[in-house]
Amino acid sequence: MHARKRAKPSAEAEKHRKEKEATKIKEYKNLVESCFQKKDKKEFDNDAFILTTNILSQNPDFYTIWNFRRLILLSGTLKECSEEEKQQTLSSELIFLQELFQLNPKSYWIFNHRRWCLETMPNPDWNKELQLIGKVLELDARNFHAWDYRRYVTPKLSYATETSLTQTEFDFTTTKINQSFSNYSAWHQRSKLLPILIKEKNLDELEKKKLIDKEFELVKAAFYTDPDDQSAWLYHRWLIGQGSNISTSQMDEEIKDSSIKSSERIELLQREINVVRELLELEPDSKFCLQTLITLLSELKTNTKEGSKKIDDEIITFCDRLIKIDKFRTKRYEDLRSKITLSQQQNH
Amino acid sequence: MDTSEKQTRLLVDLHVKYIQSLDTKKDDLEYWLTEHLRLSGVYWGLTALDLLNNVDALKKEDVVKYVVSCQHDNGGFSGHIGHDPHLLYTLYAVQILVIEDALDAVNVDKIVEYVASRQDRDTGAFTGDEWGEIDTRFSYCALSCLSLLKRLDAVNVSKAVEFIMLCKNFDGGFGNSPGAESHAAQIFCCVGALAIVNSLHLVDADLLGWWLCERQLKNGGLNGRPEKLEDVCYSWWVLSTLSILGRLHWINREKLIEFVLTAQDSEGGGIADRPGDMADVFHTLFGLTGLSLLEYPDLKPVDPVYCLPKHVVQRIGLAERYHHKEFQ
CATH number listed for the domain at residues B12-316: 1.50.10.20
| pLDDT score of A241 | 82
Tell which phi-psi region holds residue B84, choosing left (phi > 0), alpha (psi between -120 and 50) or beta: beta
Chain A residues closer than 8 Å to B79 by CB: 63-64
Those residues with Cβ within 8 angstroms of residue B322's Cβ, 6 or more apart along the chain or in another chain: B195, B200, B243, B244, B245, B246, B304, B305
Amino acid present at B8: T
Those residues with Cβ within 8 angstroms of residue A337's Cβ, 6 or more apart along the chain or in another chain: A315, A316, A319, A320, A323
Question: Where along chain B do its domains lie?
Answer: 12-316
CA-to-CA dists, residue B63 to B46, B134, B328, angstroms: 9, 30, 39
> Which of A245, A292, A325 to mutate: most B Cβ within 10 Å?
A245
Q: How far is CA B211 from the centre of its chain?
A: 20
Task: Count Cβ neighbours within 10 Å for each residue of B167-188 and write b for 16 or more, e otherwise.
Answer: bbbbbbbbbbbbbbbbbbbbbb
Q: Which residues pair with A5 in a beta bridge?
A: B277
Those residues with Cβ within 8 angstroms of residue B84's Cβ, 6 or more apart along the chain or in another chain: A63, A64, A67, B72, B78, B129
Q: Which regions of chain A are under pLDDT 70?
A: 1-2, 242-261, 348
How many A-B residue pairs are in contact by the CB < 8 A criterion?
145
What residues of chain A, 294 to 323, have a C-beta less than 8 Å from chain B?
Answer: none
| pLDDT score of A205 | 84
Those residues with Cβ within 8 angstroms of residue A303's Cβ, 6 or more apart along the chain or in another chain: A262, A265, A266, A269
Q: Do B226 and A184 touch (CB under 8 A)?
A: yes
Number of Cβ atoms within 10 Å of the Cβ of A12 = 8
- Phi and psi at residue B327, to the nearest 5°: -70, 120
Number of Cβ atoms within 10 Å of the Cβ of A306 = 8
| pLDDT score of A258 | 44
Q: Do A331 and B36 touch (CB under 8 A)?
A: no
Q: Do B204 and A148 touch (CB under 8 A)?
A: no
For residue B48, the SS3 value is: helix
Number of Cβ atoms within 10 Å of the Cβ of A249 = 18
What residues of chain A, 153 to 172, have a C-beta less than 8 Å from chain B?
Answer: none
Could you tell me the mean pLDDT of each successive run of 10 residues in chain B, 328 residues long? 64 97 91 96 98 97 98 98 98 98 97 98 97 97 98 98 98 97 98 97 96 97 96 97 97 97 96 96 98 96 97 92 61
What chain A residue is nearest to B242 in terms of C-alpha separation?
A: A332
Number of Cβ atoms within 10 Å of the Cβ of A206 = 8
| pLDDT score of A335 | 96
Amino acid present at B113: E
A74 close contact with B: CB closer than 8 A? no
Amino acid present at A224: Y
Amino acid present at A288: F
Does the CA dihedral B203-B207-B213-B218 come out positive or negative? negative
Of A147, A235, A328, nearest to B181 by CB-CB distance is A147
Tell which phi-psi region holds residue A231, choosing left (phi > 0), alpha (psi between -120 and 50) or beta: alpha
CA distance B285 to B294: 14
Q: What's the start-to-end Cα distance of chain B, in Å?
A: 29
Of A29, A32, A331, nearest to B250 by CB-CB distance is A331
Tell which phi-psi region holds residue B124, choosing left (phi > 0), alpha (psi between -120 and 50) or beta: left
- CB < 8 Å & 24+ apart, contacts of A159-166: A160/A126, A161/A127, A164/A200, A166/A193, A166/A196, A166/A197, A166/A200
Chain B residues closer than 8 Å to A144 by CB: 180-181, 183, 225
Amino acid present at B92: Y
| pLDDT score of B6 | 66
